[in-house]
Amino acid sequence: MEDELEDRIFYQTYISHMKLLSKFAVGLPLNSSCFSYIWRLIRFYIIKPEVVLLTLFLVIIFMYIQAVEVWSRSLVNKLRLSVSSSIPSKSQKLQYFKVTGDFDKSSWELKEGNVAVFAVQGRRPKMEDRFVVNENINGTGVHLYAVFDGHGGEFAANYARDNLINNLNSRIIELKQLISKGVDKNNINKQTPPSPAVSKKLPSSPPPLEKKPSFKKYVTEEGVRKQSGVITDPFLLEKLDSLPRAITREVKLSRTSSAPILPPDITTYIETNSTINFGKLVTDEVLAADRLLVEAAKKTMDVAGTTVLIALVEGSKLIVANVGDSRGVMCDFKGRAIPLSFDHKPQQSREKKRIEEAGGSVTFNGVWRVAGILATSRAMGDYPLKDKKLVIADPDILTFDLSDHKPQFLILASDGLWDTFSNEEAVSFIKSRLHEPHFGAKSITLQSYYRGSLDNITVLIINLSKHSWV
């Protein structure tokens, strides 16, 4: 009897607690002023047919856009063909390109003899690097290799590649012909036709390009529009937008004379021993091309610029011209890293002094920059900074006797590589991969990308491991 009574008491207690809990759980939101107010807002503003339908419509549109983007990329990748080029003339063996992979990771490659190049767009919105491989220019025995790292757009790098290189080729051919004829430099006609780089009138727009295998042609085929005056560098865009007045409008177009500026007498490039002074030749041609580039850029308000790294090889003689922060490195017969060029950085004492004497400043914004904008103190183009001579295009020239170093290979690369590799690391990396199809150029480019390089990356390797140095 007592057990039955205890059970009834326990049961009644349980029922009472459950009723209280149920009343609390159900009644609190309805009786509480806070919860009831929120609930009324939800019912009035959110749970309405038109709101629900609009939200559903937006979700469907968003999903459709995502699906179309994925489908279009997949379709483009399936339809994308390797781009092959026709054989250029002997004097114009320029770059070949092959585009692979997703567009945001597009790559360009070349393999010709003992030279290989691999380049990737990487994490940049557009590919602004350019390169040139010109072996044995018109049978002269002179080999030319170049890397151009554009910034602020493609115009300057394209201009340097198409005009500067063509002018150098023409000059070298002309000089070699004079030397081969055994003409006394003192008897050469002083009115030799001027170099195309300085004789032609300043163009009002980018000059028409010859029909030849070019970087611009293949990038355009892949759907990248090139528009004069379009700035693509994100940091540069941000800096220009932050200025009270657009820097592209602060420099007035300069008045130029209709009379062309005569170039130096061509005989000044011929030494007494009937050899070419490549250092003086490259310096004059770079400065002449830069002058025309700046004038052309002003007319279209194109603030683009480019670094210049050119290597000329004749026999055992190597001449390297550098403007900016692209870099060349040589691996000698002992496996040591020998610099072929030195970067032009604003924080260097020589460069900083020059900039400050010109009325400019060097500030730190992630990296040291000229006027808080440009991370290199020398470049072709960049006319807003060029007019005040904050940035110059004067190249540094270094000459090497390869028979002394007996190099295994040479590396020419844009700063996208050197942001993640030191000279010694790059030499060690390539040295163990010379057996690869691209002599390690592809491997080190991709490795630099995986290490986090944020720039375009272009690596040119000249494999000399099998060359006989007498």
Radius of gyration of the chain (CA): 32
Taking the CA atoms of 260, 263, 265 and 267 in sequence, report the sign of the dihedral they define.
negative
Using 50, 70 and 90 to split pLDDT, how confident is the model at 234?
A: low
Taken as a whole, the chain contains a residue count of 470
Element containing residue 130 per DSSP (H, E): strand 129-134
Using 50, 70 and 90 to split pLDDT, how confident is the model at 252?
A: very low
Q: pLDDT digit string (tens) for 370-410?
A: 988 899 999 999 988 988 889 999 999 999 999 999 999 99
Would you state the pLDDT for residue 71? 47
Q: pLDDT digit string (tens) for 157-171?
A: 999 999 999 999 999
Residue type, 198: V
Domain spans, the chain? 115-179+267-342+390-461
pLDDT at 99 over 80: no
Lowest mean pLDDT among 114-128, 183-197, 202-216, 271-285: 202-216
Would you state the pLDDT for residue 30? 47
Residues whose CB falls within 8 Å of the CB of residue 418, separated by 6 or more in sequence, listed in order: 325, 327, 343, 426
Residue type, 69: E
pLDDT at 202 over 70: no
Would you state the pLDDT for residue 388? 84
- For residue 447, how far is the Cα from the chain centroid? 17
Q: pLDDT digit string (tens) for 125-143?
A: 999 999 999 999 999 999 9
Give the burial class of 323: count Cβ atoms within 10 A of its Cβ; 0-12 exposed, 13-18 middle, 19 or more buried. buried
Q: pLDDT digit string (tens) for 428-461?
A: 999 999 999 999 999 999 999 999 999 999 999 9
Would you state the pLDDT for residue 49? 73
Continuous H helices in 87-209: 155-159, 165-180, 196-199
Q: What are the angstrom distances between the C-alpha of 321 and each of 190, 286, 317, 326, 424?
A: 27, 9, 13, 11, 21
Q: What is the CATH number of domain 115-179+267-342+390-461?
A: 3.60.40.10
pLDDT at 153 over 70: yes
On whether the CB atoms of residues 306 and 172 are closer than 8 A, the answer is no
Would you state the pLDDT for residue 236? 57
Lowest mean pLDDT among 256-270, 344-358, 431-445, 454-468: 256-270
- Most trustworthy range by pLDDT among 7-16, 219-228, 328-337: 328-337
pLDDT at 14 over 50: yes
Does the predicted model carry a pTM greater than 0.85? no
Average pLDDT over residues 309-328: 96
Task: Look up residue 384 and give its two tokens.
Answer: 């807003």
Using 50, 70 and 90 to split pLDDT, how confident is the model at 248?
A: very low
d(CA 225, CA 220): 6
Answer with the residue of higher pLDDT: 44 or 163. 163
Residue 41: other Cβ atoms inside 10 A: 10
Average pLDDT over residues 312-318: 95
Would you state the pLDDT for residue 13? 75
Would you state the pLDDT for residue 89? 39
Average pLDDT, the chain: 77
